[in-house]
Amino acid sequence: MISRKSKREIEKMQAAADVLVKCHKEIAKMMKPGITTMEIDAFTEKFLEEHGAIPEQKGYNGYPYAICASINDEICHGFPRHEKLKDGDIVTIDMVVNLDGGLADSAWTYAVGNVDEKGLRLMEVTKTCLYKGIEQARAGNRIGDIGHAIQQYAEGEGFSVVRDFTGHGIGPTLHEDPHIPHFGLPNKGLRLKEGMVITIEPMINEDSWHSQMDSNNWTARTIDQGRSAQYEHTIVITKDKPIILTDQDKE
Ligand code: MF3
Ligand code: CO
């Protein structure tokens, strides 16, 4: 079942997203060599608590932390660690905020210190993939249009699109229908409707797209040690441009 959200529900999700955006902006300032992702996890828990919000990921299907922190060849669902981040690492911080029952989900890849040129390009291309997907996300278009735009661009830049994890409908629970693959064919798949709230969250790899699961049964990483980046927004479908609830650039 694919739900369309009421104005009231969208307002609540926007309020959750506002807290999430503030938290990501604080994390951006902390992202320096020497900090640990465990410290960022603790910061996030405290920050959300101070804002009356709950880290939705913690306890979700048994996931143990407030954030996912995926370093270099980790694609997603990396566990926070006590090891210090090193100059040149790239780190994706993913979190879901629950404020008064409204949910928002957003991941962002951060550069730690000086990242090499290819790593920076991977990040830039992945962010552009997110916005190319968002451009296609409007009522009347189909889910395949989103994935196609992302795949075309990523592969054209010499990178690959992770197949094993997708965007998703969101609210009132974290993962709802439909799945939003980041690859696909134009004019295929379900038609998007006004009021649907979905995430677009491309994971783009510098080498092959294949992933393998760590022994913790959560963390996916590349099979060839190639790095992976990810940017994710929660968006509301409208007739025109979507509303980006987790936008970091608005006022
Ligand atoms: N935020 C992730 C997503 O985009 C969810 C991670 S799964 C969790 O779907 F268990 F860690 F919450
Ligand atoms: Co998500």
For the stretch 24-72, pLDDT in tens is 999 999 999 999 999 999 999 999 999 999 999 999 999 999 999 999 9
Ligand 2 centre from 167 Cα, in Å? 6
Q: Where are the domains of the chain?
A: 7-244
Atom of ligand 1 nearest to the CA of 174: 9
Task: Please report which ligand is nearest the Cα atom of 60.
Answer: 1
Q: Are 111 and 87 within 8 A, CB to CB? A: no
Ligand 2 centre from 175 Cα, in Å? 7
Residues 199-223, mean pLDDT to the nearest whole number: 98
What class has domain 7-244? Answer: alpha beta
* Residue of 70, 75, 76, 79 to mutate, ligand 1, most atoms within 8 A of C-beta: 76
Between CA 15 and CA 24 the distance in angstroms is 15
Inform me whether the pLDDT recorded for 129 exceeds 90.
yes
**Are β-strands 211-213 and 167-169 bridged in parallel, bridged antiparallel, or unpaired?**
unpaired
Ligand 1 centre from 183 Cα, in Å? 19
Which own/partner pairs from 119-122 qualify as long-range (CB within 8 Å, at least 24 positions apart)?
119/88, 119/90, 119/206, 119/227, 121/157, 122/90, 122/159, 122/204, 122/206, 122/227, 122/229
Which own/partner pairs from 1-5 qualify as long-range (CB within 8 Å, at least 24 positions apart)?
1/177, 2/169, 2/176, 2/177, 2/178, 2/190, 2/193, 2/196, 3/169, 3/171, 3/176, 3/196, 4/193, 4/194, 4/195, 4/196, 5/171, 5/195, 5/196, 5/197, 5/236
Using pLDDT thresholds of 50, 70 and 90, give the confidence band for residue 251.
low
* Predicted TM-score (pTM) of this structure: 0.98
Q: State residue 1's pLDDT score.
A: 77
Atom of ligand 1 nearest to the CA of 62: 10
Q: Are 159 and 205 within 8 A, CB to CB? A: yes
Nearest in space to 227 (alpha carbons), one of 64, 99, 109, 145: 109
Give the binding-site residues of ligand 1, using a 6 Å CB cut-off: 57, 60-61, 63, 68, 77, 94, 96, 105, 199, 201, 232
